């Protein structure tokens, strides 16, 4: 028996990386899932791999009509909607604020923030009708700490976290919960896509990512899609029935502070500077 037996979920941005792993874990846990993204080939292949409990629907989360059709399709196909995971994302673009490309900024906000807002709006409409449901929005450590992403991406993620918190205040009293998950550095294709690498190059980036991201976290390893999928599973399930308006940070301790090794190195440097020595 799975913790999501009988439940119906939609995972927007569910065809790659973190979203694909969430879809796999939800199906393993007993849910029927609709995965969505603009990429039909990738989505159809994943749905086929997941079996009869999964279906793919093409949707761009920045397009309200497509998001509404996505939610309506899940409700009419499966009879209800228990969990909406708004996970779609693109990486944004690094650069000086003085040279900000406004068209790029608006596209990042359209996917990362507007996509979450639209997914939340249409899921809430269905969930309020049935009086239950769990909305899970993907934030980021870049939304609460400066220096972990480009301006467009970081601003959008900060807004996702706070939007989710605000929505939770309204929906909680009506049986619908809303929470976000903020991943640390997770090994996924998002980095290769940001560099414009072709799909056949993505796998090659995983080993160097593992080593580079391990340096970010007080738990000295890269994050894995599984780490986030387990958090999503908890928030989707009844095990989290009293968790609402929370940002579940899954980052090996990054947001909590400086790693023990970095702290020791900095303290040693400080002590060395204070040691008595020849007058300067």
The binding site for ligand NAD (CB under 6 A) comprises 12-19, 37-39, 59-62, 87-90, 111, 138, 140, 183, 185-186, 188-190, 193
Residue 266 CB, shortest distance to ligand NAD, in Å, is: 25
Cβ proximity to ligand NAD, 9 vs 173, nearer residue: 9
Minimum Å distance from CB 125 to ligand NAD?
19
CB of 114 to ligand NAD, least distance (A): 10
DSSP string of the chain, one letter each residue: --TTTT-EEEEET-SSHHHHHHHHHHHHTT-EEEEEES-HHHHHHHHHHH-TTEEEEE--TT-HHHHHHHHHHHHHHHS---EEEE----------GGG--HHHHHHHHIIIIIHHHHHHHHHHHHHHHHT-EEEEEE--GGGTSTTSS-HHHHHHHHHHHHHHHHHHHHHGGGTEEEEEEEE-SB-STHHHHHTT--GGGGGGGHHHHHHHHHTTSSS-S-B-HHHHHHHHHHHHSGGGTT--S-EEEESTTTTT---HHHHHHHHHHHHHHHS--S--
Q: How far is the CB of 257 from ligand NAD (least distance, A)?
A: 18
| Minimum CB–partner distance for residue 6 and ligand NAD (Å) | 26
Nearer to ligand NAD, 133 or 185 (CB): 185
> Among residues 98 and 103, whose Cβ is nearest to ligand NAD?
103
Task: Considering the complex, state which of residue 19 and residue 133 has its C-beta at the smaller distance from ligand NAD.
Answer: 19
Nearer to ligand NAD, 39 or 234 (CB): 39
Catalytic residue set: 153
């Amino acid at each position: 028996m799975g913790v999501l037996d009988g439940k119906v979920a939609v995972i927007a941005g569910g065809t790659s990386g973190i979203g694909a792993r969430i879809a796999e874990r939800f199906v393993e846990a007993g849910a029927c899932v609709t995965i969505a993204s603009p990429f039909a080939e990738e989505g159809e292949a994943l749905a086929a791999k997941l079996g009869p409990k999964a279906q793919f629907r093409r949707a761009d989360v920045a397009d309200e009509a497509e998001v509404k059709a996505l939610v309506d399709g899940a409700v009419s196909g499966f009879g209800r909607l228990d969990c909406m995971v708004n996970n779609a994302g693109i990486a944004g673009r690094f650069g000086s604020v003085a040279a900000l490309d406004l068209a790029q900024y608006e596209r990042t906000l359209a996917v990362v923030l507007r996509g979450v807002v639209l997914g939340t709006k249409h899921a809430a409409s269905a969930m309020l009708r049935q009086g239950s449901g769990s909305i899970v929005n993907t934030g980021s450590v870049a939304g609460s700490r400066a220096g972990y992403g480009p301006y467009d991406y970081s601003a959008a993620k900060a807004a996702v976290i706070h939007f989710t918190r605000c929505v939770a205040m309204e929906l909680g009293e009506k049986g619908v919960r809303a929470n976000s998950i903020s991943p640390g550095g997770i090994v996924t294709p998002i980095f290769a896509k940001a560099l414009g690498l072709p799909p056949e190059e993505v796998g090659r980036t995983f080993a160097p990512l593992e080593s580079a991201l391990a340096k970010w976290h007080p738990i000295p390893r890269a994050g894995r899609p599984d780490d986030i999928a387990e958090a999503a599973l908890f928030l989707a399930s009844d095990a989290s029935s009293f968790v609402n308006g929370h940002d579940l940070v899954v980052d090996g301790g990054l947001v909590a502070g400086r790693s023990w090794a970095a702290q020791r190195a900095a303290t040693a440097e400080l002590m060395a500077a204070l040691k008595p020595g020849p007058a300067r």
